[in-house]
Amino acid sequence: MRLVSTSLADSARSASQRARAATVLLGPAFVAAIAYVDPGNVASNVSAGAQYGYLLVWVIVMANIMAAQVQFLSAKLGLVTGRTLPEVVRDRAKRPVRLAYWAQAELAAMATDLAEVVGGAIALNLLFHLPLVVGGLITGVVSMGLLAVQNRGGQRPFERVIIGLLAVISVGFVASLVISPPPIADAAAGLLPRFDGTQSVLLAAAMIGATVMPHAIYLHSGLARDRHGHQEPGVARAKLLRVNKYDVGIAMVIAGTVNLAMLLMAAHTFGGRDDVDTIEAAHAAVRDALGPTAALLLAVGLLASGLASTSVGAYAGAMIMEGLLHRQIPILLRRLVTLVPAIAILAIGFDPTRALIVSQVVLSFGIPFALIPLVRFTSDRGLMGSDVNHRVTTFFAWIVAVIITGLNILLIYLTLTGH
């Protein structure tokens, strides 16, 4: 009996040690997941819930399932090849193609920066009544501080800071849902795929652009490579790939829950109201309906979202430039330069919530340029060896690319025809 007890204790201890070892390997996907809960998500999801109730719940669910697949493929590319996605594109494209590719990737990165800085500015305005321009500058300065952590301490301390902010974001946006849960039947009805006019297609494109984000696709390959290195084929690589599946799965579940909470909160709290068309109006509506505490948590979550995502976005932009052009600009200098367009938008008085939604549509158009090469490269046996995509994986990944591209084409058609 004693031998059995000892054996069980040893087994439990061994399992605990394996779990701790696997936990240490987690992290890169959580940094990439910040891109999925940035201020652009807030604007798109809140607008969708306020205007269409639970109609677009299915878009969030679909987008997060697609995002999980895409992010794992990106991590796999980095682990197997030892190169980032931009580096592989550079190696396989001629110079004119590389330059054009870099230009569109930079446009997506600028749209990302715009959304994140504007979101932080809105949050500081809600919390402390600061002018939007001042809030944007503060967001930029704080994000530079977060990037300095990565520059000096390396990736692991940066991951810890970002994961902490992700926890704040999660609490901030899920709190309203806990305070006033929506009807389950109504939320479930939103799982049926459908649209209701051009504006709903625009919002769906924005929601997907805010979820499956181009810079996160580029970035994850570098995060995984830099954290774990380039492992040769064998047991060690198989273990890393398996752990990265858990890393991506957990991170995407958290991001998906936060996104769903945003839409459900908006649909339940002020669905169908015509006067809730900005984040500021949504904050006021939450305060009136659920109380000041819920409104405060919402604003804090938005601030954490802006600070974390703008840092990750600048990190991704630097990786894209270095990978595609083989040129390196100090990441803090890059943060300073890319801050200018966002501050300009705030200074001229452009509607910040509208700017957020438009930025997400721009991101949606940039997704195929990141996604199509990713699927091609991870399906190339000459590049990936024994870790090449399974045929089913490749089939599903191409479906994702077709859905996103098709949604963008439909959006253009409906907009041009005025439907």
Task: Inform me whether the pLDDT recorded for 351 exceeds 90.
Answer: no
Of the candidates 204, 41, 51, which has an alpha carbon nearest to the alpha carbon of residue 115? 41
- Secondary structure tally for the chain: helices H, strands E: 18, 0
Structure confidence by residue, pLDDT tens digits, 133-169: 999 999 988 988 888 887 787 778 888 898 999 999 9
Average pLDDT, stretch 88-102?
90
The CB-based long-range contact list for 395-398 (8 Å cut-off, 24+ gap) reads 396/69, 397/69, 397/70, 397/73, 397/371
- Judge whether 259 and 41 are in contact, CB under 8 Å: yes
Report whether pLDDT(188) > 90: yes
C-beta pairs of 382-385 under 8 Å, 24+ apart in sequence: 383/80, 383/81, 383/88, 384/76, 384/77, 384/80, 384/81, 385/80, 385/233
CATH class, domain 27-417, is: mainly alpha
In order, the DSSP letters of 311-366 are: HHHHHHHHHHHHHHH-----HHHHHHHHHHHHHHHHHTT--HHHHHHHHHHHHHHH
pLDDT given for residue 81 in this prediction: 95
Q: Which one of 24-33, 203-212, 294-303 scores highest in mean pLDDT?
A: 294-303
Closest to 177 in 3D by CA, of 273, 45, 294, 64: 294
Structure confidence by residue, pLDDT tens digits, 128-138? 999 999 999 99
pLDDT of residue 21: 47
In the predicted model, is pLDDT for residue 211 greater than 90? no
Higher pLDDT, 210 or 384: 384
Residue 25: the pLDDT is 58
Question: pLDDT for 253-311, tens place per residue?
Answer: 999 999 999 999 999 988 766 677 788 888 988 898 889 999 999 999 999 999 998 88
> pLDDT-based confidence at 20, cuts 50/70/90?
very low
Helix axes 39-52, 292-325, angle to 10 degrees: 130
> What pLDDT sits at residue 183?
93
Q: Where do the domains of the chain lie?
A: 27-417
Q: What is the mean pLDDT of the chain?
A: 85
- What pLDDT score does 12 carry? 45
Instruction: Return the percentage of the chain with pLDDT > 70, whole number.
Output: 90
Residue 16 has pLDDT above 60, yes or no: no
261: left (phi over 0), alpha (psi -120 to 50) or beta: alpha
87 pLDDT more than 80: yes
Q: Which residue has the higher pLDDT, 355 or 10?
A: 355
Distances (CA, A) of 49 to 81, 207, 414: 42, 11, 21
Predicted pLDDT at 419: 57
Residues 166 and 254 sit within 8 Å (Cβ to Cβ): yes
Percent of the chain with pLDDT over 90: 42
Average pLDDT over every residue of 46-50: 88
Among 366, 412, 315, residue whose Cα is nearest residue 101: 366
